[in-house]
Structure 1
Amino acid sequence: MDSSGVSGWMHHLVVDASVKYCNCYASRPFYRLVSVACFALCVLFFVLSAQQPSVSRRTHQLHDAGRRTLSLSEPGGPRVDAFDLTVKPFGFNIVRQPTHKSSFKSCEKTDLLIFVCSSVDHADRRTAIRETWASAEALAPLNAAVVFAVGSGVGDQDALHQEAEQFGDILQGNFKDTYMNLTLKSTMALKYVSGACGRGTKPPRFVMKTDDDIFVNVPFMLSALKKNLAGAKRMITGCIKQRSAPRGVSADGRTAPSILPDFVAGAGYVLTGRLAAELYAAASKVVKPMKIEDFFVTAQCAKLVPGAYPPKHDPRFTCGGIVKDDCKLVSMFTAHKITSHRQSAIWDKFTSDPNPCMDF
């Protein structure tokens, strides 16, 4: 007999016995109290029985969550075919990858690979970044490199093709290039690193995600990463929105609700290179992916990778606040809403001799 049969049999046994007992003794004054107690026991039994299915459902939910958690049985993490260009969680394809003309030759020898989420029609922003903090002269001594992640379907595709041929630093997917598809761009970047940047080699030491209106103080940030997180295996660090976000940084004009799990701002966050493949594998296990890129990667995916959550808060990453004084960026990792013109102005200050921001 199964558990439901036993439960039904017990219902009949207890209820029948209780009713007979109560009918027999209800007319006697001495046993009226016993009748009330009998009735209370019946009610209690029904309440406890009714709770059993909900407890069972919760147990099944916990088991399902356990099955969704990423298995890390492979020492090197999940393996991804470098020649498979399908981003499986969302069903789109990578249609363009960085070439040998890019600022880096191999992920295996790269300490920091920076993915800049851009748009097809933001060529001026990419040019400003290439000529300032992400220039070959600035990044090569640091063993760092930059890749621009874009979508398709909007903007001048011919101009983008020429740009990609010239610089070799474009990673493109065949999805519509819109703000709400930032989740796809970041997942595409994870996929690219998971396949060891299309070459099947070891991943870079650190991977950064940022946007094309961000100034990145690469030397200062990379020095801090090497010093403070040298032995980290599964780590995400950035500005946790619930702690530092100013008003108006989210799409609906509000700060991150405190009821959401901690996640770091997509304006700039860093993860260990080996974690990229694990986050990409976890992306397929997220039941309801959110279109909020930073929450999807650093909370939804990270929570499915043992040891990757919670992220590490560092206020030197921007959470969306505006920095008006260029010289304050000397002690920050990133700055938000930096125009192309200001990228150049900041870089000129940082590279001049003497540096006006270091004149104490």
Structure 2
Amino acid sequence: MYGQIRIEHNLSCKAKPRFEEDLGFGRHFTDHMFMMDFEEGKGWHDPRIIPYGPISHDPSAMVFHYGQAVFEGLKAFRTEKDEIVLFRPDQNAQRLNRSSDRLQMPQMDENFVVGAIQTLVRVDAEWVPRKKGSSLYIRPFVIATEAGLGVRASSRYSFVIIMSPVGSYYEEGLQPINILVESHYARAVQGGTGSAKTAGNYAATLKAQALAKEHNCAQVLWLDAIEKTYIEEAGSMNVFFKINGEVVTPNLSGSILDGITRKSIIHLLKEWGIPVTERKISIDDIVLAYENGTLEEAFGTGTAAVVSPIGSLLWNGTPMVINQGNIGDLVRRLYDTITGIQYGRIEDSYGWTISC
């Protein structure tokens, strides 16, 4: 379709980090990367795996000026049987195309995208760590590369995949985190790009994220941009609340990301017979549940952190401590199940993992 993937092996491989130590997140990068180019009238072409290194673009490349950039995030895991698997990569490929469509960027064959990821992981298989809780984070992205100024869609693009061995996303690991409820700044609005995984969405969160850090909070919980009332998502996570036995999460209104871990969590909850509802949730609903003692657990979900228990919400200067700041039973069960499937400790009866 796009041609056979050409592989140029790196003859100067770098020293690998000590995988048994804390890898952090996104600090180290593997020896190779995948690249493929798009040109209007020619389509996607020249798929290749080459040594990891700098990418050169013209200063007028349109990505620098008009922000046509989308990305994905997924992981490769080394199972207890020493096999390497990916978790639901087909979902990432589908979402990459949806994001590209929103930013008027060209689509790609989703099976080819998954195959390219598998091939790159096989080339750099020794970079998949064996330490419990570690994984190989995979970052596919597409950027506009045409040289020229003028507000329009680019006629040239690059598709790139890079990879990084990682430990826990949060320094706290699987420990309850503090979250600041943001009531001034806005992340996205319905009709905007909130449902796309595009770079600009994350740039818009950095100011509030810095304020959260000043309040000893790990993340920001965003409210809707119009009424500043309805909960949307956290900086890098979808959010869930367990209230009086029912799990509720904001519905996909067009301004939040359709998370793959979110989708997996909802599937598990339904299978376990735990009531789960996708609907509009106001911050007032959460405050009321907290005050009357029915707010039992809260947690975020995402590829990077998997499941993160929320220990407290800082709202209007007052912390609401959830479940006495402890990890809830449901959060623990969800985390153990998802990671159990990813690392091969639990049988994958859903077909969510594929081998590399």
TM bin, normalised by shorter chain, reads: under 0.3
State the structure with more CA Rg: 1
So what's the TM-score if we normalise by structure 1? 0.25
Which structure shows the higher helix fraction? 1
So what's the TM-score if we normalise by structure 2? 0.25
Which structure shows the higher strand fraction? 2
